[in-house]
């Protein structure tokens, strides 16, 4: 009888350990499946569309044109430093910036010299109408450059400003 009890206990232990091994194998297989599925989902989400689009090619060409235009920079007209108060409800905030204008021709420098007070006034009005949030980001700075360029070009007659460069830009 004692031998039969020992045999039953050994068989029960083998069945339990076999069940535990089976459970462990099932858990490992499920984890591997989850990892594979997660990896596939991440791959498809991050890879985007593999279909060729017609727009990226012209954009690449435009970027190359912009880079080649940098080698053909026109005359630079440096302006004095601007210090203006920014629009803010809570505290006094100000902007200190230095701006250089890229002109399309050397002849335009004479007109800019004559209209310099009007150009400085225009830039001061534009800068002081902005909030910190509007000009803090790079996108905001680009919009500000475009607005300055557009407004200056409205008052020029013999040429135009090609680009506006911030050579110093401090918000405090």
CB-count burial class (<10 Å; 0-12, 13-18, 19+) for 22: exposed
pTM score, whole prediction: 0.58
DSSP labels, 99-162: EEEEES-TTHHHHHHHTHHHHHHHHHHHHHT-BHHHHHSHHHHHHHHHHHHHHHHHH-SS--EE
Architecture of the domain whose range is 74-171: 2-Layer Sandwich (3.30)
> How does strand 76-85 pair with strand 161-171?
unpaired
Q: Residue ranges of the domains in the chain? A: 2-51, 74-171
Report yes or no: 86 and 130 within 8 Å, Cβ to Cβ.
Answer: yes
* Per-residue pLDDT tens digits of the chain, which is 172 residues long: 555 655 566 555 555 666 788 889 999 999 988 889 988 887 877 775 544 455 555 555 554 455 455 667 889 999 999 999 998 877 788 999 999 999 998 899 999 999 999 999 999 999 999 988 889 999 999 999 999 999 999 999 999 999 999 999 998 8
């Amino acid at each position: 009888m004692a031998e039969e009890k020992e045999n039953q206990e050994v068989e029960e232990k083998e069945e339990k350990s076999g069940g535990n091994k089976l459970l462990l194998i099932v858990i490992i297989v499920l984890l591997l499946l989850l990892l594979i599925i997660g990896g596939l989902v991440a791959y498809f989400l991050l890879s985007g569309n593999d279909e060729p689009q017609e727009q990226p090619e012209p954009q690449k060409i435009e970027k190359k044109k912009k880079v080649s235009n940098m080698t053909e920079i026109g005359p630079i007209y440096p302006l004095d430093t601007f210090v203006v108060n920014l629009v803010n409800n809570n505290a006094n905030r100000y902007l200190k910036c230095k701006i250089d204008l890229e002109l399309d021709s050397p002849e335009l420098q004479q007109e800019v010299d004559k209209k310099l007070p009007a150009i400085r006034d225009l830039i001061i009005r534009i800068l002081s109408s902005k909030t910190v949030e509007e000009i803090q980001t790079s996108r905001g700075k680009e919009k500000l450059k475009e607005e300055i360029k557009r407004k200056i070009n409205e008052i020029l007659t013999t040429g135009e400003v090609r680009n506006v460069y911030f050579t110093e830009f401090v918000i405090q």
